[in-house]
Amino acid sequence: MAVDCLFKHAHLFTLAGEGVGYIPDGAVAVTGNRIIAVGDTNQVLADLAAAGNGVIKQEIDATHQALLPGLIDAHIHTQLGLLRGVAQDMHDWMMQGVLPYMLELKPRWQILSSQLTVMEALRAGTTTFGDFLVFPDPALMEFYLSSGIRVRPILPVFEIGPELLAGGKLYQLDDHMGQASYNEALRLYAEYHGAADGRIQCMMGPFAPDFISEKTLVKCKDAAAAKGLPIQMHTAQGDRETEQMEMRYKKRTIPYLDEHEYLDPEFTAVHMTMANNDEVHQVAEAGSKLVVCNGSIGLIDGMIPPAIPFQEAGGTVGLGSDQAAGNNNCNVFNEMKLTAFFGKMRNQDPTAMPADRALRMATIDGAKALGLEDEIGSLEVGKKADLILVDTRHPTLQPVIEDPFNLTANLVYAARGNEVSFVMIDGRVVFDDGKLQTMDEDAVIQEIRETVPSRRKKVGFM
């Protein structure tokens, strides 16, 4: 069997097993879309020769490059990319800040938003997106196919009504909207789940417990179980949600979800900034996962998501950049740094949230949060060939010191993302030599400049 691509002499981070799996002179061999060999360069070469893999179609000398699994953004709204910077430094960010702009996004702008977001993220080494849709659109699914990204589209179900922005009042839920969004979620699942040799795999996305009725919550759980789909949901994400849940159900979010059997290994909560310590432990001990978005929540709410207590309770935590309207960037290197910093500040302890843990959250733990750990998240034989090269010769990553080893810390605390030099997804090169191979970046930017108005007014709401 021929080897399609052999990476050799890399600073290799496999993320297999415990820690970061560092090999100072490492190699990875890829055939098709799978990894067929990983290890020390000399050993991999010897093993390939012994196995009769004498034909190597492409060799990449990765000297001075860190070779990593592709980074995983486990919670992002790519369709909000054009709202960067429009709702900042304010209270009531969701209702009075970003939502009025969201409702003005034309269908074509939503696709441009996703293209812009993916362009930025790919250049910074993100290969997998847990894309929580806001406006389900088959055109977005077609973009997933052409762009080459690995994505879990999170199919939204919601039934918010016209009274949504009436502060302090109980939301008016719209049953017709709920049924329509549920039907559309199932239609997109039927058409796209498993497409591109499994590169697109859907999740069910009841948007938030305060945005849907009890009946719809149960229906989403039943559909997900019947189709074998994991669920991701915004959970305990703010005072507004807690207030709505207590007004409508006389319960806080976590007890309510537990009552409806949501807390299981197929459930991933996002944010949980308003969960108390007992609730954090309850979700973790149920085997559910958590995705934290420190850049977004820090900027929007000035709060620190509960990554450390969730991990202390035995839970798995992945990272998400959320959306450009709150975070202002879609860069998992940024999330690793902020997550480590916020953890240290939360505990007032410089040893809390060390660099190796943050790197695992951006890779293998992110894969677990999306239910993809058997396919991606670490560089191991048999897994999909999703990997990136990071050029350590950039000023931000110099010097590289072997003893004491500093490269993990530099990747987490110093890298900005522009050090990424190469991206492969599913065995296909999508970024190399400073250029995206699957998108016309100039055309996307030009269309944004020509069609997105420089002056926007918020529409009025009740």
**Cis peptide leading into residue 100 (ω within 30°):** no
Per-residue pLDDT of the chain (462 residues; tens, 9 = 90+): 789 999 999 999 999 999 999 999 999 999 999 999 999 999 999 999 988 876 899 999 999 999 999 999 999 999 999 888 888 877 877 767 777 777 778 889 899 999 999 999 999 999 999 999 998 889 999 999 999 999 999 999 999 865 565 556 888 899 999 999 999 999 999 999 999 999 999 999 999 999 999 999 999 999 999 999 999 999 999 888 999 999 999 999 999 999 999 999 999 999 999 999 999 999 999 999 999 999 999 988 899 999 999 999 999 999 999 988 888 899 999 999 999 999 999 999 999 999 999 999 999 999 999 999 999 999 999 999 999 999 999 999 999 999 999 999 999 999 999 999 999 999 999 999 999 999 999 999 999 999 887 655 544 322
Please report the domains of the chain, with CATH numbers, ordered by start residue. Answer: 5-69+378-442 (2.30.40.10), 71-369 (3.20.20.140)
pLDDT at residue 339, rounded to an integer? 98
d(CA 54, CA 112): 44
Main-chain phi, psi angles of 5, to 5 degrees: -150, 130
Which residue reads 């990554």 in tokens?
Answer: 307
* End-to-end Cα spacing for the chain: 66
pLDDT at residue 388, rounded to an integer? 99
**Do residues 273 and 240 make contact, with C-beta atoms less than 8 angstroms apart?**
no
Main-chain phi, psi angles of 74, to 5 degrees: -80, -5
**Do residues 407 and 394 make contact, with C-beta atoms less than 8 angstroms apart?**
no
What is the DSSP pairing of strand 231-235 with strand 267-271? parallel
Read off the pTM.
0.96
- Closest listed residue to residue 288, CA positions, set 253, 323, 261: 261
